[in-house]
Structure 1
Amino acid sequence: MALGDVVLVATDLSESADEAIKLGHEHAQRAGGKLVVCHVVHEVLRSAPLFPQAIQADMEAVIHAESHAAAAVEDRVKDLTGRPSNGFEVRIESGGADASILRVAEDVGATLVVTGSRGLTGIARLLLGNVAERIVRYAHCPVLVARPHKRTNKILATTDLSELSQPGVALAGQVAAEQRGALTVLHALDILPSPAFGFTVPFGGAPVIPPPELIEQMRGAADGVLVGMTERLGIKAERRVIEGDAATVVIRTAEELDAELVVVATHGRTGLARVALGSVAEKIVRGAHCSVLVARSH
């Protein structure tokens, strides 16, 4: 199944969501798949049994808002993608944004959900919060968090070498093949463990840094695992093993490569259920300068 077979784009009609529409269109177009664009109208119905006319007025307001939203979404998609009206489906929902989008994703059998990096506020802050965060956490399929970036055809996949991180590498290989892009697979060699778990002198002592020869052995071993992983998945990619904190290394490497996309699995060593995104993945989605594709590890 191709990533773009059924693409659901979540839009709040903001400029941030425009990039989501563009990227969703591109993925669906490459796969010859279906594009569904969803907008959620906030619904507030009063609980006033003694005043049914108030409830009726609210319902009429919602219906009016949904009608206007449908027209606005259709115009936006046509302007941004050049698709005709019958070249995509518009879904207008009412209620909670994240719950509605997740419900539509299940309903249409989405193979990819695309969302903007921030919403109507336009606040220049890091991503994960509110609607986008919950979509990434709970969606049954991969989620693409869209950020504007020039097309460089460079893709960066990150792995902690665990089996749970392999879906991210596999998905990155699929995207690279579809786009004929250059793929780099990265492993961050964190040689300084957290003080809570690492080898430290009691009462605030400095962590013990492994000797250079041991670090080189660790680097070689990690590269060997990367070779086996890429060969097993049938992926051609440049391999990199870089020392440092995983999220920091990934974000910095993406900038150095001028990558247009970073691909990360939802969790690695922890093996937690999909409700837990994982701190490394969360930091990457928040801090990357480009779009981030979050693969679901089952």
Structure 2
Amino acid sequence: MEAGKICGGEKPRILVATDGSLASEKAVTLAVNLARVLGGELHAVSVICDQLKRDEAHDAIERVKELFPDVHAVIREGHPASEIIECAGEVDADLIVTGSHNRSGLERVFIGSVSEKIVRHAGTSVLVARSSEIPKRVLIATDGSEHSRLAMELIRHVREKIPLKVTAVHVMDTSDPVSSQLFFEELQQRRDHALSMARKILGDSAECISVKGHPVSVIAEISARYDMVVLGSHGRSGIDHLLLGSVAERVARFSKSSTLIVRGKRLNTSP
């Protein structure tokens, strides 16, 4: 989702994926609510596949139309994650909203989930909805990077239209053998830089905290106290993705709250 669109009067384009399941119903309701509050343009897609027949896809789309008559809806056929991502590109979506089916164990390892594949491969921001309600309490992770800066700027602009209680958290990764060998002063400097950036962007009303531990474990655990957790994503692929891009994905997998992955490549923060 582009911060510039929210503060500059343009309509953000929101694409919601639906298969008629309870998980996607939460995503649909949240997407509809966001489109109304932000004045956005809503698109919906349902994908016919082995698990979803044509009449079921049609019913899922009709449900969206009942809630938001002006929706731009389409039914596609193929692999759900691939079709949803392709559709997002075709409509130039700023945000994909998808549900989470919360698979676990071997099913997750061997099959994964559509939402996880979208989070991993989409070129735009992704919101994994675990609630249909517009969030009020937001946790945003910051490491002082450009990606977290863009995520915080987005939340700052969203807050102009949606009252949000925002907490910024920086995790000092003392679990990493490499990081643990660094001078403690350097870790403190990184923390101070990240939290200073958060205070500057989010303002005095935002709470800023620092916690030691493994980033994924800490953020996932703390997120249970919030309606939504927000993370910037590097948007890398290949080996860079394995080394740097997995924190956001794993938080999206393990968090109990809705998770917004902000992709910097689609953020234009100028009005």
TM tier, smaller: 0.7 to 0.9
Q: Which residue of 2 aligns with 1:77?
A: 64
Q: Does 1:18 align with 2:5?
A: no
Is the CA contact 1:191–1:244 (under 8 Å) kept in the aligned structure 2? yes
Is the CA contact 2:65–2:71 (under 8 Å) kept in the aligned structure 1? no
Q: Which residue of 2 aligns with 1:92?
A: 75
Q: Which residue of 1 aligns with 2:209?
A: 240
Q: Which residue of 1 aligns with 2:236?
A: 272
| 2:226 aligns with one of 250, 259, 266 | 259
Is the CA contact 1:4–1:34 (under 8 Å) kept in the aligned structure 2? yes
Q: Which residue of 1 aligns with 2:141?
A: 158
The two structures, once aligned, show a CA RMSD in angstroms of 3.2
- Unaligned 5+ runs, structure 1: 44-61, 200-207
Residue deviations 1:248-281 (CA, integer Å, cap 9, x gap): 11122222xx2100001123xxx83498372221
Matched residues, number: 251
Change in CA separation of 1:232 and 1:124 when aligned onto 2, cut-off 3 Å = closer
- Per the TM alignment, residue 221 of structure 1 is displaced from its structure 2 partner at its CA by 5.7
Q: Which residue of 2 aligns with 1:294?
A: 261
Change in CA separation of 1:253 and 1:198 when aligned onto 2, cut-off 3 Å = closer
1:232 & 1:152 partners in 2: Cα distance?
20
3-state SS of 1:179 partner: coil
Q: Which residue of 2 aligns with 1:175?
A: 158
Residues 123-162 of structure 1 mapped to structure 2, 5 A cutoff = 123=103, 129-148=112-131, 153-162=136-145
Task: Return 94-103 or 15-24, whichever deviates more.
Answer: 94-103
Task: Return 242-251 or 223-232, whichever deviates more.
Answer: 223-232
Is the CA contact 2:126–2:261 (under 8 Å) kept in the aligned structure 1? yes
2:120 & 2:103 partners in 1: Cα distance?
22
- Unaligned 5+ runs, structure 2: 266-271
1:291 & 1:143 partners in 2: Cα distance?
11
Is the CA contact 1:168–1:263 (under 8 Å) kept in the aligned structure 2? yes
Change in CA separation of 1:198 and 1:266 when aligned onto 2, cut-off 3 Å = closer
Change in CA separation of 1:148 and 1:229 when aligned onto 2, cut-off 3 Å = closer
3-state SS of 2:159 partner: helix
- Per the TM alignment, residue 159 of structure 1 is displaced from its structure 2 partner at its CA by 1.4
- Report the structure number with the largest CA radius of gyration: 1
3-state SS of 1:22 partner: helix
1:152 & 1:285 partners in 2: Cα distance?
16
1:99 & 1:209 partners in 2: Cα distance?
41
Percent sequence identity over aligned pairs? 29
| 1:227 aligns with one of 196, 204, 214 | 196
Is the CA contact 1:69–1:92 (under 8 Å) kept in the aligned structure 2? no
2:254 & 2:18 partners in 1: Cα distance?
21
